Amino acid sequence: MRGISIRLGAGALAALVLGVFVVGCGGPKDSDDEPVAKRKGKGPSTAKVSGPAKTLTVLGQDKYKYTGTIKGKVQWEGDLPNLEELTTKLQAGMTTNKDYCLHGEGVKPYETTQQGYRIGDNKGLGNVFVWIQAPPGHAFDVPDSQLPALKDVRIHQPHCAFLPHCSVLFSWRYKDGAQVATGQKLVVENDARVGHNSKVEGGPLNGVSDQLLGAWDGKGKIQEATYQLKPERDAVKISCGVHGWMRAYVRVFDHPYAAVSSVGANLGDAKSKVFENLKDPAFGSFEIKGVPVGAKVRLFAWHEELGQLLGNNGEEIELKDTNAKDITAPRR
C-alpha cells in the first residue's frame, strides 16, 4: 500500500506552550492511548458525554483567539478504483423498487452509482471527514458566536440513496466544565415515493435506533426521524433495511472544527435537491473556520473506504491564522 502524505503550508509561528494539565489521573485511560494500528474505520476518541468533565481542561478563550482557518483539498493520486465495476455490483443488489430507484422521476446519476468513492473531474476526493482534536484530556472552549446556525442537519432520501452521503454534527459543547447540548440534531426524512427506514448505528454512546418512514405522496407532510446524537470516536452509520445498499455516515463532535471535503454542490440549499457536481473545480476541497490560533492540536482525515488518511493518531500541527493543508489519497 502506498503512503498517504500531507503538505503543510509555508510560514511558522513560535511554539506556544499549552498552560493546561490533565487532572484525575486515577480515572480511566484515555482511548487515544490505546493501540489502534489495526483499527480501520475508527477515529480517535472525541470527548465523552458523561456529566462534568472532571478529567478535561478546556483550551480557554483567554489564551487563544478562535479566528484561524484551515483550508485544503483531498487529492487522488495514481490509478482510479474501478468505479464502473463498483457501480455494477451496487445495482446488482437493487431488487426492491428497482425501477423507481434507477429510473424514477428526477433521479440523478449520483443516486444510482457507487457511493464509496466520489471523485471529481479534477481528481479531488469528496466525502472525506477532516477535523482537529484537542490534546488528550483537553477540550475546546467554543465561543458562543460559533454555536450552530442550523438547528437540524438533514439527510434526504429523494429516491434510493441518502443525500448528502456524509455530514458533520456539532451536537454538544463544553461549558463550565460540563458537556451540554447545543440543540443541533440529526433529521432523516423520506421525500421518496416509496417507503424507507433509517437505521442509525453508533458506538456505545449512541447505540442503534431504527425508524420506519412511509412514502411521500408529493403533497402531504414528509415523514422524518429525529436523533440527538452524542460525540464519540466512531462514525455513525445510517442504513435502510428496505434497500440494503443504501448508507450514509455522520461524525458527531463537541466542537465545530470539522468539515467534509466537497462533492461540488451547495448542500445548504435543500430546495435545489442538487447534491453533487463532478465538474466543480472545488471538488475535494474543505475549509474549517474559527480554530484557536497558536494551539497545538491533531489533524485527522477519515474516508469510509480508506480509513484514517493521516494515521490513527493524526498529524500534530500548531495552528496559525491561515493553515494550508493538502492531503493526498492514493488507491489502496
Q: Domains, the chain, ranges and CATH?
A: 46-330 (2.60.40.420)
For residue 50, pLDDT over 90 is answered with no
* Number of neighbouring beta carbons within 10 Å of residue 7: 11
pLDDT of residue 331: 56
What average pLDDT does the structure give for the chain? 84
Sheet holding 185-190: strands in order across?
152-155, 185-190, 223-227
For the stretch 129-183, pLDDT in tens is 999 999 888 899 899 999 999 999 999 999 999 999 999 999 999 887 788 999 9
Residue type, 284: G
For the stretch 256-281, pLDDT in tens is 999 999 999 876 565 677 899 999 99
For residue 49, pLDDT over 60 is answered with no
Lowest mean pLDDT among 21-35, 53-67, 208-222, 311-325: 21-35
Contacts of 220 (CB under 8 A, 6+ apart): none
Cβ(13)–Cβ(322) under 8 Å? no
pLDDT of residue 31: 34
pLDDT of residue 165: 97
* Number of neighbouring beta carbons within 10 Å of residue 171: 24
pLDDT of residue 312: 92
For residue 105, pLDDT over 60 is answered with yes
Mean pLDDT value of segment 211-238: 94
**CA pseudo-torsion sign 9, 43, 234, 318:** negative
Which contacts (CB < 8 Å, 24+ apart) does range 85-90 have? 86/114, 86/116, 86/117, 87/112, 87/113, 87/114, 89/114, 90/114, 90/115, 90/245
**How far apart are the C-alpha atoms of 7 and 324, rounded to whole Å?**
8
pLDDT of residue 314: 95
For the stretch 12-45, pLDDT in tens is 333 333 333 232 323 333 333 332 233 344 444 4
65-77 and 322-330: which strand pairing?
parallel
| Phi/psi at 98 (5° precision) | -60, -45
pLDDT of residue 188: 97
* Number of neighbouring beta carbons within 10 Å of residue 144: 8
Query: 435545489: which residue's cell?
Result: 272
pLDDT of residue 135: 87
Tell me, what DSSP letter sits at residue 272?
A: G
**How far apart are the C-alpha atoms of 90 and 308, rounded to whole Å?**
24
